[in-house]
Amino acid sequence: MTDTVEITSFEGLDPRISILRAGSEVDAMFVRTQRFDVLIDTLGTPALCRQALEKLCVTPGGKPLVILNSHMDWDHFWGNAALRAFGPIIGHVKTQERLAHPAARAKLAEKSGQESCFHEVELIGPSITFSGDMKLHGGDLTLHLLHTPGHTPDHVAVYIPEISTLLPVDAVEDPMPCVWSKDPDALFELRRSLRQLRDLRALVVAPAHGRTKTPEAIERNIAYFDALERRVAGIDRKTLQETTAPETIPSLAMEDCVPVLRVMDDGETAFYRDFHQRNLIATIRERLRQTEVA
Ligand SMILES: [Zn+2]
């Protein structure tokens, strides 16, 4: 777990947007508009969130701050306790279900047992929720909050049309995003969300992980899921039904299905192998469901 937040950017990113980078763990975003500032995600601990606010010179009583939780994955909202003095937090209505689920508490217990930096974390969810989409009218910039389920049921991405910039959070990832469950319906939603984001034709795309910044990342993610579908369709039903480790089937290994374009350490590689296995199982279940009727 990192203990430092860096305020950073990249060439081509509008100067009104800052990236709040917690090592290789996650990037939160800060957007300055004429009317208010917007904090998109609060990092993995209140300490990291406080550090980011200090570095950005954001204080209670200053310029109005709108806070958004993109989804209830720990690395995106466990900093919420640092924001009590700032005002309400916005999130999708499905954040409530996720927060109420025993898995939310179990994750905190697990991580608190491993590292003391999590002892201060409180499970605080959004106090303003919406369904469908929502717009934040900042004057010079409009932030479209787009419900984009699939990675998680409550996932929200942010599109800013005035600067053709998409902040897809975890819906787009290099080398691939991860589906919420092995249920084919979640896979269907993730692929639909990817197409929805692709159709925005944003010139700048800055996800929360993997430090990607090109719109091609979305196309690569779409191509990856298309390749999984095609490759799985080429394998007989019996093999698919009987396998317990589909990634060991020739042509279904991660390296066969997606070009890995950046240097990843062993930890990261293992992390994305898990993503791949999960995506693959959902794809196989979809294939088995389709061919059942035939
Ligand atoms: Zn994430």
Closest CA to 274 of 243, 235, 246: 246
Q: Is the pLDDT of residue 293 over 70?
A: no
Q: How far is the CA of 58 from the centre of ligand 1 (A)?
A: 24
Mean pLDDT of 188-200: 98
Distance 180 CA to ligand 1 centre (A): 12
CA of 178 to the centre of ligand 1 (A): 10
**In the numeric block, which tokens belong to residue 241?**
């039904």
Q: What confidence score (pLDDT) does residue 12 get?
A: 94
**Domains along the chain with CATH numbers:** 1-168 (3.60.15.10), 171-294 (no CATH)
What distance in angstroms lies between residue 77's CA and the mean position of ligand 1's atoms? 10
Total number of residues shown for the chain = 294
pLDDT at 210: 82
Q: For residue 192, what is the enclosing H or E element?
A: helix 184-198
Q: Given this model, what pLDDT does residue 22 score?
A: 95
* Ligand 1 center–CA 241 separation, angstroms: 31
User: How many A from CA of 27 to the centre of ligand 1?
Assistant: 9
Measured in Å, residue 209 CA sits from the centre of ligand 1 at 7
- What does the pLDDT read at residue 6? 97
Distance of CA 77 to the CA centre of its chain: 11
What residue type is assigned to position 214 of the chain? T
How many angstroms does the Cα of residue 240 sit away from the middle of ligand 1?
30
Residue 130 CA, ligand 1 centroid: distance in Å: 21
Confidence (pLDDT) at 24: 86
CA of residue 234 to ligand 1 center, whole Å: 32
**Once rounded to an integer, what is the mean pLDDT over residues 247-263?**
86
Q: Which of 91-100, 101-110, 122-131, 241-250 has the lowest mean pLDDT?
A: 241-250
Indicate the SS3 state at residue 244.
Answer: coil
- CA gap 259, 135 in Å, rounded: 35
- 169's tokens: 């959070």
Are 105 and 123 in contact by the 8 Å Cβ rule? The answer is yes
**290 C-alpha to ligand 1 centroid (Å):** 31
The residue-averaged pLDDT of 55-66 equals: 95
| Region 85-114 average pLDDT | 96
Task: Give the strand pairing for 142-147 and 134-137.
Answer: antiparallel
Distance in Å, CA 246 to ligand 1 centroid: 25
| 163 CA → ligand 1 middle, Å | 24
- Are the C-beta atoms of residues 7 and 31 closer than 8 Å to each other? no
Mean pLDDT taken over the chain: 95
Average pLDDT over residues 119-140: 97
Distance 215 CA to ligand 1 centre (A): 19
